[in-house]
Amino acid sequence: MKKFKLPKIKAGKIDFKYLINFFLVILLTSFILVCILIALPLTETFSSNITYDLKTKSEMYWAKEYLLEIDNSDAREKNKQIDDIKSVLYRRLSKLGVEKVDMANYSENGKEYILIHVQSSLTQMFVDELIRSPFLLEVVTRNPEIDFEDPENPYAIYLAENYLPTGFTRESFRNIYVTKLRNSSNEYSYFALYKTWPWNTEWNNFLNLYKGQEVGVSIDGFVTPIQVPATEPILFALPVSTLEREEAELISILYNSGVVPVTYSLVDQQEVPIENVEADYIKLIQGIIIAVVVIYAYLLLIDKTEKKTLIVSALTTIITISIWIAYLKIAVIPVDIFLLAIEVIVMVAILRITTENTESRIIVTVLLALIASLVAILGTGYAKIFASNLFVLLILGNISEQIARFYTFKVRKLLKI
């Protein structure tokens, strides 16, 4: 009887490179589709497990007017003093990120006033503090004629009138750095480190003179006592009365936004109507989609751009805008809709230019990034916000372009087109 033999099956070689490319294309396609779906309006309603939606600032805005009365000690310098005060306040509010600030000064009954109009979505208490406090600083020493241990006067230790001036003011220090350090309880809390210029020997002499003794720092007439360390190196670290990071950053802004030349007082503050730019982000995104489709359909019809370049440009635009809006949704970052519209329009134009002109892409991108960074540092209000976002979008756009080129190359190779 003949034995039955199974036919031999020869296994062909597996093309692992093809499989890897295939899975990469699938992953990139999934990633792009997920970003597009998240970025599209109302897609958050399809899932009850994940909540995301574009958070707009329209309901977060508030507006107030503040009236400051200037203590005008020198009539000849009043204009310069007022300008300096306004400059410091502008820097404070800009560092905090206040969207809209207007200031005007006027004279009435021999007194000088500054009227400040603020519109912002930030914490109102923080803005109030930045405007209300002149934050005039001076290092002081105890007056030997004052009894700081008097039980009938427990607030004597906190009143600036009970101390002697030393001549060390905010101008004496190059920087005051607010950071976390270990306190006497071996726990971390916020301190303000007073740093002088390396050649300033007067401050070092002062610290050595009062080593191990208690001095104070007067800010707007309120003194915080501090003991000068007896150990070397002497670190002058003033405790900051907060455990919250945001409040510590606020104090850092007060320390490092310039020096008010003369004191002032807040005499009035009142809420005013909000001048809000309303926009429907659903209609905005629909408009963006229609605009992008029309633009690239027109470019395809006139046939003046190579189809390969046109596809890369369109895909780069879609990826960049989708990732940006998806990020804003997932991170729950409040946005101004009109500002988002400007950012998207600008990026569509920039990406269209850079993807077609590869020779000048680096020069254009670097130049725009430099301008954006300068405006983000030196600008104020909406210009600062726009420039900061544009800088991020330029980086994102360049990454998206590389993704788009890689993706189209792999798809053409897999489909052999």
Alpha-carbon distances of 292 from 23, 271, 280, 286, 327, rounded to whole Å: 29, 42, 18, 10, 20
Q: Is 222 helix (H, G, I), strand (E, B) or coil?
A: strand
Taking residues 357-366, report their average pLDDT.
82
- Which three-class secondary structure state does DSSP give residue 133? coil
Look at residue 103 and give its three-state secondary structure. strand
**Per-residue pLDDT, 319:** 93
Helices 245-255 and 78-96: crossing angle, nearest 10°?
A: 150
Q: What is the 3-state secondary structure (H, E, C) of 35-71?
A: HHHHHCCCHHHHCCCCCCCCCECCCCCEEEEEEEEEC
Which of 139-153, 161-175, 270-284: highest mean pLDDT?
A: 161-175
Is the pLDDT at 6 greater than 50, yes or no? no
Return the exposure string of 63-92: e unless at least 16 CB atoms fall within 10 Å of the residue's CB, then b.
Answer: bbebebbbebeeeeebeebbebbbebbbbb
* Rounded percentage of the chain residues whose pLDDT exceeds 90: 41
Fold adopted by 59-134+265-275: Alpha-Beta Plaits (3.30.70)
**Cα-based distances in Å from 248 to 180, 183, 220, 221:** 9, 16, 18, 20
- For the ranges 173-187, 242-256, 269-283, which has the lowest average pLDDT? 269-283
Q: Residue 218's pLDDT band (boundaries 50, 70, 90)?
A: very high
Give the pLDDT score at 265. Answer: 92
φ and ψ of 280, to 5 deg = -95, 115
Q: Closest Cα partner for 196 from 218, 169, 178? A: 169
d(CA 413, CA 21): 9
The domain ranges of the chain are 16-55+278-415, 59-134+265-275, 135-259
Question: What is the reported pLDDT for 15?
Answer: 66
C-beta separation of 194 from 210 below 8 A? no
pLDDT band of 68, cuts 50, 70, 90: very high
Task: Give the span between the Cα atoms of 88 and 81, in whole angstroms.
Answer: 11
Q: What is the pLDDT of residues 94-138, one digit of tens each?
A: 999 999 999 999 988 888 899 999 999 999 999 999 999 999 999
Best CA proximity match to 94, nearest among 252, 273, 249, 253: 253
Q: Which helix (H) or strand (E) is 20 found in, with range?
A: helix 16-39
Chosen CATH of 135-259 out of 3.40.50.2300, 3.30.1360.200, 3.30.1600.10, 3.40.50.300: 3.30.1360.200
DSSP symbols for 146-200: S-TT-TT-TTGGGBGGGEEEEEEEGGG-SEEEEEEEE-TTS-EEEEEEEE--TT-
**Statement: residue 355 has pLDDT above 80:** yes
Percentage, residues of the chain above pLDDT 70:
92
Give the per-residue pLDDT at 417. 63
Rounded Cα gap, residues 21 and 410, in angstroms: 7
Strand, coil or helix: 360: coil
DSSP notation for 290-342: HHHHHHHHHHHHHT-S-HHHHHHHHHHHHHHHHHHHHHHHHTT--B-HHHHHH
Taking a C-beta distance cutoff of 8 angstroms, is the pair 174, 180 a contact?
no
Whether the Cβ atoms of residue 152 and residue 140 lie closer than 8 Å to each other:
no
The pLDDT tens digits for 299-324 are 778 777 778 888 888 899 999 999 99
How confident is the model over 14-57, as pLDDT tens digits? Answer: 667 778 878 888 899 999 998 888 888 777 666 666 667 788 88
Residue type, 247: E
pLDDT of 50 reads 63
